[in-house]
Chain A
Amino acid sequence: MFKKIMTKARMQSPWMLHFDCGSCNGCDIEVLACLTPVYDVERFGIINTGNPMHADIFLVTGTVNHRNQKVLRNLYDQIPDPKVVVAIGACGLTGGIFREAWNVIGGVDKVIPVDVYVPGCPAKPEAIIDGVVLGLEKFRGKAETAESISANDFEEEAPCREK
């Protein structure tokens, strides 16, 4: 009973943190478009918090490079559990058109565990909202098994990450 209420509350109130991890800003504009009256994600209780300590959903756009991977990891670690990570755009998924650049590590999942991948260049606002909703479904799973991967577990699995 208590668990049910908690899961419902979690599904109804995902506060998001948006991090531009070196994107061309195309995807960021689409993320912010979700907050405008046209898409109005506050209908689903989604609020843009801008503060990792308050966030539940972590939206990351753009490629990861050797500089900003520390920031990305830091932000991820500051979000209290349970949390969901959504990688957005071709860049966030694999590095996109920047994947060959000398300083680019690749997609977001090279550094932190990603739950939902939203493709597109740029990803459409509809797709982003879909991704967040899919992420919420994972919340349900996570809330029931009370399981979450920490960044440190992930470290060993990431083959391309430089120490």
Chain B
Amino acid sequence: MINKSVLILAGLASGPVLGGVISGFDRILTARFQSRIGPPLLQPFYDVIKLLGKEKVVVNVWQAFCVNAYLTAASIATALFFLRSDLLLILFIQAVGAVFLVVGAFSSTSPYSQAGAHRELLQMLCYEPLLILISVGIYFQTGSFKIESVDAMNQPLLLKLPFLFVVLSFVLTIKLRKSPFDLSTSHHAHQELVKGLLTDYSGPLLALTEIAHWYETVLLLGFCSLFWTTNPIGALLLVGITYLGEIWIDNVSARMNWRWMLGYGWGMGMALSLVNLVWLYAR
């Protein structure tokens, strides 16, 4: 019991702490890629604290509710992940949170917010099936959707599900809002729609969406680490290399349109998943 509560607390703390540090690293690395020095490591924390202290401007009540729902869902999903719970449950809760973010953006009349929300829905349409397929692959391999059974494996999943890992890194690019898939909202001001989805979230509400995004980052990187559970160094290396790859792709590519994303995402993603699943099945 005590063990469990410690795990839940670790899960809840991981978003605001680990997520923020990861985001700080990301910004420094991105700046270095662009031959700049970049902000200090703690910059994301400064940003969020400042936003929490700004005047609260709420466009409508729905939006405030949706932000809180998004944050709650993202934190619960991360806590459940730390509890090594059911993968499908975690994905479902995370998806509910993401839908709330979109509903919040739809509830404002700003055209930027609306366009961003539409694109976010398309992004979800693209990555949710892929996430489910990855879970199915894990189920085929371990015989259960529980993360505990992944931990019990004596061989890294990556060796059995290499293509599904590629699909996961694809999903990661979309979820972390990296180019070429930062359609709905972006970290860099060089796009045709910069903040899109987040246009009308401001001050404390924007801070909450940022914290929720940190939770999601931790959750998805945790998902990556499932592919190498046999030793922690391997897991860390795998996650680190994947994340570096994401930052690299973000900096070398431009934003694509949603048609390209859906076509490529579904075409490549589903094909790779299918090949991997058939391979597992045939063995």
Contact = CB atoms under 8 A, between A and B. Distances in A.
B247 to A, nearest CB: 15
Interface in A6-54: 6, 8-10, 12-13, 15, 37, 40, 42-45, 47-51, 53-54
Contact of B50 (A10, A37, A40, A81): A10
B57 A80 contact: yes
B47 interface: yes
Interface string B189-207: 1000011000111110010
Nearest to B48: A9
B226 to A, nearest CB: 34
B199 A45 contact: no
Contacts of A51: 194-195, 199
A95 to B, nearest CB: 29
A9 B53 contact: yes
Interface of B is mostly: loop
Given A9-B50, A80-B203, A45 B43 contact: yes
Interface in B220-234: none
A101 interface: no
A42 B49 contact: no
Contact of A80 (B34, B39, B54): B54
B31 A80 contact: no
Interface size class of chain B, counting residues whose CB lies under 8 Å from the partner chain: 20 to 34
A36 B27 CA distance: 15
A5 interface: yes
Nearest to A47: B189
A96 interface: no
A82 B51 CA distance: 10
Interface in B37-64: 37-40, 43, 45-47, 49-50, 53-57
A45 to B, nearest CB: 5
A49 B53 contact: no
B259 interface: no
Given A37-B35, A42-B39, A9 B189 contact: no
B43 A13 contact: yes
A134 B133 CA distance: 54
B206 A54 contact: yes
Most chain B CB atoms below 10 A, which of A13, A15, A49: A13
B50 A54 contact: no
A45 B39 contact: yes
B46 A9 contact: yes
A63 B39 CA distance: 33
A81 B194 contact: no
28 contacts: A5-B49, A6-B49, A6-B53, A8-B46, A9-B45, A9-B46, A9-B47, A9-B49, A9-B53, A10-B50, A10-B53, A12-B40, A12-B50, A13-B46, A37-B35, A37-B36, A43-B38, A44-B39, A45-B39, A45-B40, A45-B47, A49-B194, A49-B195, A50-B189, A51-B195, A54-B195, A80-B203, A81-B55
